[in-house]
Chains A and B, each alone.
Chain A
Amino acid sequence: MKQTVQKLFGVLGRPFETGGKLEKLHPLYEAVETVVLWPDRVTDVSPQVRDHLDLKRFMSFVILALIPPAVYGIYNTGYQGRLASGLSMDTAGVLWTGLLIFLPMLIVSYAAGLFWEVLFSAVRKHPVSEGFLVTGLLFPLTLPPTTPLWMVAAGISFGVVIGKEVFGGTGRNILNPALTARAFLFFAYPAQMSGEVWVRIIGGPGPAADAVTGATPLALAPTLATGVRLEPALREAGYSFSTLFWGGYPGSIGATSAFMCLIGGIFLVLTGIANFRTILGGIAGVLGTGYLIHFLADPAASPWYSLNPFYHLVMGGFAFGLVYMATDPVTAPGMERVKYLYGFLIGALTVVIRVYNPAFPEGVMLAILFMNIFAPLLDQFEISIRNKRRVPNV
């Protein structure tokens, strides 16, 4: 089996070699080849032995961790779509509908993103980096199911080119590329990114009686009169705490279920791919700020003020953003202790943006991007303290 594959690549690879017809596309060929066949590179300098972990495995573990929210997202997207369209709700049908909605977005995201990756790799004569495989999957999961495909392509192009490649590619970017792509769409096409965009109507007899229509949980508060308490209003709109936790409501494809993000997060922390410090800090940030507002502000002044802070953890994309985007090692601080602070500030900013800025219903995206900018400063802060404690050696 291995010999056959090796031979096959030997034949297929010929046009991509130096002097071949497709020489320019060598990075693309190499990317495919090294995924299928592990490279046989051996050490040429000391140390003579190396660890088995590499970036391919590192990144593929993030993809593995994304499987629970992605699969649930497909199911939920199909479910909400069929519910709103009044179609039958059998599991196979629901999954099929979800796949029909999500797969084209995923394919467009990977194809458009890969085009730019390969283009930049070919020009720079670099190998294609595995980091893109994560970005290309993360991005469509953060989108509403109604996003047109051309918009997916535009978003991922912006994210890959401006968010990453202009800085030199994976490892050198200062902003999370998937979030950059999401933010681009959010500001460039606000109409398609907020409002009644969370359920894809797929034709059929019309909404069933219990179909959810109206505002998403995050957009609900600004619509309420002052003095109304948010929790009962959320429950009335069908967003009880458990619904928000399990994720059975309309929203961004992969980001509705805090439970699935929890599973992914536990997997990432146990395998050591994501740092638990950022995640703990983020949860503390949300709860700390949430309780501060809860206790200090007058509940009559805004519906948000009366909200139990635990709701913030399960609403919108916070769990998804914290687990999969805030922990991105490239854009997070590298130092251990400031990771708590970094996470904390992401959580705090998320709550502040949600509560005090009705123009942006989703705070986590902006909070993470904002803290990405501050990550090097936080690092500098900890490094300078650390350096002062060393006995100088020059």
Chain B
Amino acid sequence: MLPMLPYYTSKNLFLAELLGQNLHISKIFYLFLVLVNTYLIWLISKKLLNKKFAFLSVATILFSPWFYYLAVGHSFYFLLLFPTLLIILGLIEIFQTQSKTINLLLVTGSLLSIYSSALFIPLLLILFITLIYSKIISLNKLKLSLILIFILSLPLLFLISKNSIGFTNSLRQEAKIFVDPGLINSINRYRGAAEANNYKFFSRVSENKYLFYSEYIFLKYVSQLVPETYFTPKYKLLSYAFNPPIFAGFTIPMFYGLYLALKKPNLRKLLFVSTILVIPSVISKDMVSLNRLVLFSPVVFLVISYGLSNLYQKRNALVAKYFLILTSILVLFQIVVVLFDFKAHEQQRFESYFGKNYELSEP
């Protein structure tokens, strides 16, 4: 790991020594980060959606457990969301203006992210290449910013060249998609059974590791993009919670927003490109890592806000009105249920997963 952001939360921070309560400092920092990230998403919403409805994305975040759990769990990827949002904001600014000057948001975000996580080096490369190749942003508009990013990342590249093993290890730490032997075992099982039945050739053609690995990557990629990942507790927050990352009632505006976005070719293209942000979760050990997927969360919140704002604008139509009412009822109902459930079961679930001697809250 190339620690830059985590440094500020480490116990060596002078303020931590001053207060003598390291974990509290860290907590305050993460709570502050919730506010900053939410504010940045609000800024993005203002630029992409109708300004009047930008608050909807903030409301969706505030009514969703995702950020809170990751902040309490001191998620590293929640930290990385900050530079990611700066990058997104910078790219939107470049997209919406004709200026070819250096975009400081993009540069700052990119540098913060690549100095913090080795994974962001290939990730940003893929992002920029895709944006240019798909003609969403021209190379001319990006050129100066990219050059500056390159120059300022030279020290990092120098360090990497000096310690390539460390860099490779760091990348390996982040990309654990194939560490589980289950997949290779299953390939061997298939192959063994087929060969025992004299289907050796067919098995070699259709049940080889290259094909299965590709299919598995694709399965993981698609799994990041389905509603059950966001609106159900299928993949548990901090590995134990029953609360979904986003309340289930928001599925309705999500689907509506998606429906509207898919109808427009430009938005469709943007949506496809934005899925690059799911790569960190794709290459994780688990099928879906909500911890890493938080980098993609702004896209989800924006689609929900887009759907909500359009439903609100069409509120005179009967169906839109029903959808809005249903969304509100479901979200409010789930908040109440979650609050009661939190009091009744959360501790027990936590203990049954982590064991009784493990505490998350107090030092």
Do A and B come together as binding partners?
no
- The chain B residues found within 8 Å of chain A, CB to CB, are none
- The chain A residues found within 8 Å of chain B, CB to CB, are none
